[in-house]
């Protein structure tokens, strides 16, 4: 956090918006959302939208930090025409914190293209190509290696599962600031033959389709896209019950959700499922059948386009 850089970014954004004479600015993420919206208003942009993929404030923060982030979102909401939320939980959490008014919100999920996740899968071939043993079960987590995703919990989960089922292998796809402590935890727990760090990948559809389960250990989220990717691929989800998660994953139908940080319970559920092929198969079928049209990126784009058209018509008819 560097206030001088934030001021410089604000001034540069204001210059760009004013020079470009844009009709719409649509921001994403927390800091970029605050700076971008305030700069757009200062530059006289007629329409300002923001997508909340989850909020920058959460219960795990120190009270002063959380209060500051809430205040920033409240101020930014006053210059925002519409707040697009990716889940109903995101709407509820925003309103509960005093961010915006109900009329400002529109719930539009951050969709994916399901087609790559539905392609025919030669599991053994994909695992072999990626360096995994085709004969061993594979459990995957796709996430940035940052505190929000709590990837060290995934390593703890892998250690707990390995103690009961030494044949299971784990993949962690992504990279980030926690890579060094993750590597240290893998070494400390002697998981070198169990957990592989894959770094950034461009073949996530293949990786998920070749997995028996996907796991996500996040402490807070909006609606994790990996949930949607897993459902499209027919892969059950074991994850934390964060924000919009229950809007995609239903316990016993297409996966199981747990309180953030409850790694022992998550690991025990993974063990039970790996020892119960029939139960795992039922969850796979449940994942496929629980796909919803509003998870599709084409639905998302259509909804956003209609939102733009509604607001553009109203604004430019008046001027």
pLDDT at residue 319, as a whole number: 42
In 3D, which of 231, 230, 180 has the Cα closest to residue 204? 230
Q: What is the pLDDT of residue 60?
A: 81
- The tens digit of pLDDT for each residue in 110-162 reads 999 999 999 988 999 999 999 999 999 999 999 999 999 999 999 999 999 99
Closest CA to 292 of 105, 51, 114: 114
Compute the average pLDDT of residues 270-287: 97
> Does residue 86 have a pLDDT over 70?
yes
Mean pLDDT along residues 2-28: 95
pLDDT at 79 over 60: yes
pLDDT greater than 60 at residue 317? no
Please tell me the distance from the alpha carbon of residue 313 to that of residue 309, in angstroms, as a whole number. 6
Average pLDDT along the chain: 95
DSSP 3-state assignment of 134? coil
Give the separation between CA 232 and CA 241, rounded to whole angstroms.
20
- pLDDT of amino acid 318: 44
pLDDT of residue 139: 98
Q: Which residue, 55, 53, 59, 82, is CA-closest to 228?
A: 53
Confidence at 59, pLDDT banded by 50, 70, 90: confident
pLDDT of amino acid 2: 77
| Cα dihedral: 147, 153, 159, 164 (round 10) | -160
Q: What is residue 1's predicted lDDT score, i.e. its pLDDT?
A: 64
**What domains, with CATH codes, occur in the chain?**
3-110+297-318 (3.40.50.2000), 115-292 (3.40.50.2000)
If one compares 236 and 314, the residue with the highest pLDDT of the two is: 236
Model confidence at 316, in pLDDT bands (50, 70, 90)? low
Rounded Cα gap, residues 208 and 230, in angstroms = 7
Note the pTM of the prediction, 2 decimals.
0.90
Q: What is the pLDDT of residue 124?
A: 94
């Amino acid at each position: 956090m560097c206030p001088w850089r934030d001021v410089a970014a604000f001034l540069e954004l204001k210059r760009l918006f004013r020079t470009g004479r844009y009709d719409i600015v649509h921001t994403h993420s927390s800091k970029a959302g605050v700076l971008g919206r305030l700069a757009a208003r200062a530059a006289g942009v007629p329409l300002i939208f923001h997508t909340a993929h989850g909020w920058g404030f959460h219960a795990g923060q120190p009270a002063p930090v959380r209060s500051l982030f809430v205040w920033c979102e409240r101020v930014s909401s006053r210059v925002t025409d519409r707040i697009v939320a990716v889940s109903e939980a995101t709407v509820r959490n925003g309103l509960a914190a005093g961010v915006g008014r109900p009329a400002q919100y529109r719930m539009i999920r951050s969709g994916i293209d399901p087609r790559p996740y539905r392609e025919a899968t030669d599991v053994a071939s994909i695992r072999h190509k990626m360096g995994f043993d085709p004969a061993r079960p594979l459990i995957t987590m796709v996430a940035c290696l940052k505190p929000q995703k709590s990837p060290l919990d995934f390593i703890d989960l892998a250690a707990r599962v390995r103690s009961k089922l030494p044949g299971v292998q784990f993949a962690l796809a992504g990279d980030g600031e926690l890579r060094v402590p993750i590597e240290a935890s893998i070494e400390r727990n002697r998981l070198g033959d169990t957990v592989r760090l894959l770094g950034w990948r461009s073949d996530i559809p293949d990786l998920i389709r070749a997995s028996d389960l996907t796991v996500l250990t996040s402490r807070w989220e909006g609606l994790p896209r990996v949930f949607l990717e897993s459902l499209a691929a027919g892969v059950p989800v074991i994850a934390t019950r964060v924000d919009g998660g229950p809007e995609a994953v239903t316990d016993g139908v297409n996966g199981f959700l747990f309180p953030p940080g409850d790694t022992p319970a998550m690991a025990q559920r993974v063990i039970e499922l790996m020892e119960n092929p029939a139960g795992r198969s039922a969850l796979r079928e449940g994942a496929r059948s629980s796909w919803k049209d509003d998870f599709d990126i084409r639905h998302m784009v259509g909804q956003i386009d209609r939102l733009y058209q509604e607001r553009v018509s109203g604004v430019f008819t008046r001027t």
